[in-house]
Chain A
């Protein structure tokens, strides 16, 4: 008999499915049921770049402690895809569990001796009960959720409640789904040893947290932030952001009387046209954005330089994936940092925001529009596939009732009448931000010509060196102002004084939280700093100065954030040690702990002997 993994509310389940088989909603039902039992669960879609018939996985990490990062390893594999059977079986931890469809006998060589096999004749049961082939397929997914509920002690009432919510409005679908669920559950209770060594037990560990996708949250942020024009071109993993914006707008921006929309969404012919439309709309005073990914950023370079130089607000949601080129379209990376920070030819710098989870996607999604209007420049919200396309438990969304949209320095007709003069590129306030006018404002005042060529303070074409230098230096002053307005980095000090620090950003957050706890348990202490924006506030340089060695954990090959910090803050590169995960899989606490512990032992920064009692 193999050993049995024993764990309550701390294990990983991985579903191996066939794309297009209807498994997604059943798997989501599984994850939500655990959340409803008050236990944190974090699902991840792992999907190759295909639509139908090919493998797809859904991994759920259950963690009572609330660790939401990927863990690595699998404790229970739900192997529903014969194509990937061998690798799915191989991934299971020794003593773990293999759940499979036992309708057809499998040779012993297809199993491992050190794992526990749980067979349920899913196909047989469904063929017996249903005659319609599509029903057989769809209900099979619900039947395995039923069997799993018995094996893992998931409360059936919770699942029934979720099913009734899911099919609200299509009420006649509720009963057959509940029936299929119980068919699987009853079979397992009668025929299998329930529960397994791993199981779920009700807790109160969720609180008021919510569960949503970053792309949808960012799109909602755009609605709250007042965006009224969206131009986009379909590209994984950002398409669902534009689609979510449309969904949210239909709900919140439809005029009740006329049925007309207070928004315009155009699916453009390519990414160049997308950003062109955004720039045109923003030039004309509407809040506008595009959603894209790395290849789109490459295509938008020329226009981004125009927006920087002509000083036009624009918001770009870059949902990052694996590059370069087409790269890994359905995998995670943080590899557009430099191509966004310095997008376009000539001397340019752009404002980047790095959300850690869907909640920050919402917050930054709204704030980006205020920053764009205030700073009159493109703002990049740097999502990642990991937080964009996965549902994640996070703090509830918040909106200050007193909050007003900050439209920035836009002169009205009355302002123009009252003003002594208007010069489009005059730095009146010393913050590097000039005043602008919108087309159609005043019959005789405030018109100017927007151009990508060099101009003087009054927006007149000029090829004079001093005019050019004057303008470029003002743009630097404006960038310094941006550093004051962008979200500051967040510190997480160690529980005791230390000379070692670690910097991280974006989707690395949950893995880092867990890694810091684990390192702390091993008596390795690090102060941590989560960077939330570029340009950096003074706290980033101060943090580096306050530590003898600083790790920078990121998810790309070339340590792009490290390059940006070294370059922009004038830091000695030797002071920042890169920790890099770039295989396309989300970074894990195990990886961070090992990388940091190994290096600290080697550098003898903190004596590790204390770690082993």
Chain B
């Protein structure tokens, strides 16, 4: 971390997006995480994704729980409202916020302790309700803020910095998200920005429960020999099934691939995801096949990354509840209160 204040100076030739914002307008406070922390790379990817999508920063709400990962929303999108809630309970707070105003973009940031241990229940239920959000787990397999205890996503046999071998089965958040009906599921690696940024972009544009499990090595407590979440280990075992470009609605499609190499998927908002296949037989529209594929590759010791599943027509919580299009927090007194006139009728019916 650095103790230097962030300079306000901006280079006059910084490129601006369609809203006239530069990348700097999407930044937050200076990070207080350890130098080299994978989480800072994810923050940078979020900034890049929001900048490239030209999202108005104030129309994004960023929510988190407690832990190293949950601290990061301070370090990006300084012009957005943020909510650092309680440990493992970000999903419920985000769900409530989403119910109140369906017009904002909701970004939930959590960690493996926050989501796979104390918050496993809330993670599961937010996913199965189809809350329209992008839920990113910054997964380092360790409790960083309390100095190096195993988390529930640590692989069995993985060795802690103190030399203890983990004997518990890991919780597979990707498998859970797929089973529980997430309509956008991806895994990435904080060290692969080229893959991560488009995944975040497509997840932000997705109209349902989008989940990204992002492996993010902890340089302080989980980057050693014997760890399965170290930079070296993840680089050596990373097997991407695809690469993607995201073209927002009304955007210009510039990337071209040879015929048969790529496939275009149009999301509900009109944006197009251009998938360049790496694993030729991988089908992002087949949930059951994805589960099987992931488990087979995991058995072989691979960490599969990329866009793993996409439902182009998600049904979100508001659609299921049949709420009005106008955000509930914008309803007027007259739209909320039946008024004095109804009271006489109510009284009459109770005699």
Cα(A266)–Cα(B89), bound, Å: 16
Q: Does A598 contact B (CB under 8 A)?
A: no
Q: Does B121 contact A (CB under 8 A)?
A: yes
Q: Is the CB of A269 within 8 A of B86?
A: no
Q: Does A196 contact B (CB under 8 A)?
A: no
B317 nearest CB across to chain A (Å): 8
> Which of B75-83, B150-158, B185-193, B202-210 forms part of the interface with chain A?
B75-83
Q: Is the CB of A220 within 8 A of B346?
A: yes
B95 contact from A220, A258, A280, Cβ within 8 A: A280
Q: Is the CB of B92 within 8 A of A449?
A: no
Q: Does A541 contact B (CB under 8 A)?
A: no
Cα(A524)–Cα(B278), bound, Å: 91
B328 contact from A231, A262, A442, Cβ within 8 A: A262
B104 contact from A260, A396, A399, A440, Cβ within 8 A: A440
Residues of chain B within 8 A of A282, CB atoms compared: 96, 100
One digit per residue, 1 when the CB lies within 8 angstroms of any chain A CB and 0 when it does not, for chain B 319-343 equals 0011111101111010111111111
Q: Does B350 contact A (CB under 8 A)?
A: yes
> Which of B38-46, B54-62, B283-291 forms part of the interface with chain A?
B54-62
Q: Does B297 contact A (CB under 8 A)?
A: no
Residues of chain A within 8 A of B81, CB atoms compared: 437-440, 447-450
B323 contact from A264, A399, A449, Cβ within 8 A: A264
Assuming the contacts A229-B99, A306-B85, A399-B340, asked whether A262 and B79 have C-beta atoms less than 8 A apart, the reply is: no
B58 contact from A303, A440, A461, Cβ within 8 A: A440
Residue of B nearest to A280 (CB): B96
Cα(A443)–Cα(B57), bound, Å: 7
Assuming the contacts A210-B350, A229-B100, A439-B61, asked whether A285 and B92 have C-beta atoms less than 8 A apart, the reply is: no
A278 contact from B58, B96, B121, Cβ within 8 A: B96
Q: Is the CB of B86 within 8 A of A302?
A: yes
Residues of chain A in range 391-440 having any CB-CB distance to chain B below 8 Å? 396-401, 404-405, 437-440
Q: Is the CB of B89 within 8 A of A272?
A: yes
Q: Is the CB of B125 within 8 A of A269?
A: yes
Residues of chain B within 8 A of A557, CB atoms compared: none
Q: Does B122 contact A (CB under 8 A)?
A: yes
Q: Does B232 contact A (CB under 8 A)?
A: no
Q: Is the CB of A226 within 8 A of B74?
A: no
Q: Does A50 contact B (CB under 8 A)?
A: no
Residues of chain B within 8 A of A264, CB atoms compared: 99, 318, 321, 323, 328
A231 nearest CB across to chain B (Å): 6
A442 contact from B58, B73, B85, B99, Cβ within 8 A: B58
Q: Is the CB of B125 within 8 A of A279?
A: no
Q: Is the CB of B347 within 8 A of A280?
A: no
Q: Is the CB of A273 within 8 A of B343?
A: no
Q: Is the CB of B85 within 8 A of A449?
A: no
Q: Does A468 contact B (CB under 8 A)?
A: no
Q: Does B101 contact A (CB under 8 A)?
A: yes
A438 contact from B82, B329, B339, Cβ within 8 A: B329
Residues of chain A within 8 A of B124, CB atoms compared: 269
B83 nearest CB across to chain A (Å): 4
Q: Is the CB of B96 within 8 A of A229?
A: yes
Assuming the contacts A210-B347, A252-B342, A255-B324, asked whether A439 and B101 have C-beta atoms less than 8 A apart, the reply is: yes
Q: Does A261 contact B (CB under 8 A)?
A: yes
Cα(A109)–Cα(B96), bound, Å: 62
Residues of chain B in range 72-114 having any CB-CB distance to chain A below 8 Å? 73-74, 78-86, 89, 91-101, 103-104
Q: Is the CB of A277 within 8 A of B93?
A: yes
Q: Does B161 contact A (CB under 8 A)?
A: no
Residues of chain A within 8 A of B324, CB atoms compared: 255, 258, 260-262
Q: Does B266 contact A (CB under 8 A)?
A: no
A396 contact from B57, B328, B347, Cβ within 8 A: B347
Cα(A285)–Cα(B63), bound, Å: 15
A164 nearest CB across to chain B (Å): 15
Cα(A399)–Cα(B345), bound, Å: 12
Q: Is the CB of A273 within 8 A of B322?
A: no
A358 nearest CB across to chain B (Å): 9
Q: Is the CB of B125 within 8 A of A273?
A: yes
Residues of chain B in range 281-310 having any CB-CB distance to chain A below 8 Å? none
Q: Is the CB of A266 within 8 A of B58?
A: no
Residues of chain A within 8 A of B73, CB atoms compared: 449
Q: Does B351 contact A (CB under 8 A)?
A: yes
B340 contact from A400, A405, A449, Cβ within 8 A: A400
Cα(A281)–Cα(B92), bound, Å: 10
Say which size band chain B's interface belongs to.
35 or more
A280 contact from B100, B317, B351, Cβ within 8 A: B100
B321 contact from A211, A261, A276, A278, Cβ within 8 A: A261
A417 nearest CB across to chain B (Å): 14
Q: Is the CB of B83 within 8 A of A443?
A: no
Residue of A nearest to B89 (CB): A276
Q: Does A284 contact B (CB under 8 A)?
A: yes
One digit per residue, 1 when the CB lies within 8 angstroms of any chain B CB and 0 when it does not, for chain A 259-294 equals 111111110111011111111111111111000000
Q: Does B129 contact A (CB under 8 A)?
A: yes
Q: Is the CB of B58 within 8 A of A405?
A: no
Q: Is the CB of A269 within 8 A of B121?
A: yes
Q: Does A452 contact B (CB under 8 A)?
A: yes
Q: Is the CB of A277 within 8 A of B79?
A: no
Residue of A nearest to B56 (CB): A443
Residues of chain A within 8 A of B79, CB atoms compared: 443-444, 447
B350 contact from A212, A223, A279, A452, Cβ within 8 A: A212
Assuming the contacts A264-B321, A447-B81, asked whether A441 and B329 have C-beta atoms less than 8 A apart, the reply is: no
Residues of chain A within 8 A of B122, CB atoms compared: 269, 272-273, 276
One digit per residue, 1 when the CB lies within 8 angstroms of any chain B CB and 0 when it does not, for chain A 325-363 equals 000000000000000000000000000000000000000
Q: Is the CB of B322 within 8 A of A270?
A: no
A313 nearest CB across to chain B (Å): 11
Residue of B nearest to A461 (CB): B74
Residues of chain B within 8 A of A262, CB atoms compared: 323-324, 326, 328, 331, 335-336
Residues of chain A in range 208-240 having any CB-CB distance to chain B below 8 Å? 208-212, 220, 223-229, 231
Residues of chain B within 8 A of A270, CB atoms compared: 121
Q: Is the CB of B336 within 8 A of A228?
A: yes
Cα(A597)–Cα(B59), bound, Å: 65
Q: Does A103 contact B (CB under 8 A)?
A: no
Residue of A nearest to B125 (CB): A269
Q: Is the CB of B351 within 8 A of A210?
A: yes
Assuming the contacts A229-B100, A262-B324, asked whether A286 and B329 have C-beta atoms less than 8 A apart, the reply is: yes
Residues of chain A within 8 A of B326, CB atoms compared: 262
Cα(A283)–Cα(B81), bound, Å: 10
Q: Does A451 contact B (CB under 8 A)?
A: yes
Residues of chain B within 8 A of A302, CB atoms compared: 86
Residues of chain B within 8 A of A276, CB atoms compared: 85-86, 89, 91-93, 95-96, 122
Residue of A nearest to B78 (CB): A447
Residue of B nearest to A269 (CB): B125
B130 nearest CB across to chain A (Å): 12
Residues of chain A within 8 A of B94, CB atoms compared: 280
Residue of A nearest to B346 (CB): A397
Cα(A258)–Cα(B321), bound, Å: 13
Q: Is the CB of A228 within 8 A of B58?
A: no
The residue in B99, B326, B351 that gathers the most chain A C-beta atoms within 10 A of its C-beta is B99
Q: What are 30 A-B contacts with C-beta separation under 8 Å? A: A210-B351, A223-B337, A228-B100, A231-B95, A261-B321, A261-B322, A262-B324, A262-B328, A263-B323, A264-B323, A266-B321, A269-B121, A269-B125, A275-B92, A276-B86, A278-B96, A280-B63, A281-B97, A282-B100, A283-B97, A285-B329, A286-B328, A286-B329, A287-B336, A396-B347, A405-B333, A442-B58, A444-B58, A450-B83, A461-B74
Q: Which residues of B contact A (CB under 8 A)?
A: 56-59, 61, 63, 73-74, 78-86, 89, 91-101, 103-104, 121-122, 124-125, 129, 317-318, 321-326, 328-331, 333, 335-343, 346-347, 350-351
- 14 A-B pairs besides A272-B89, A404-B333, A439-B58 with CB distance below 8 A are A210-B351, A226-B336, A260-B322, A261-B323, A262-B331, A273-B95, A273-B122, A288-B99, A397-B343, A439-B80, A440-B59, A443-B57, A449-B74, A451-B84
Which 6 pairs from chain A and chain B are nearest by CB? A280-B96, A276-B92, A277-B96, A286-B100, A285-B329, A439-B81
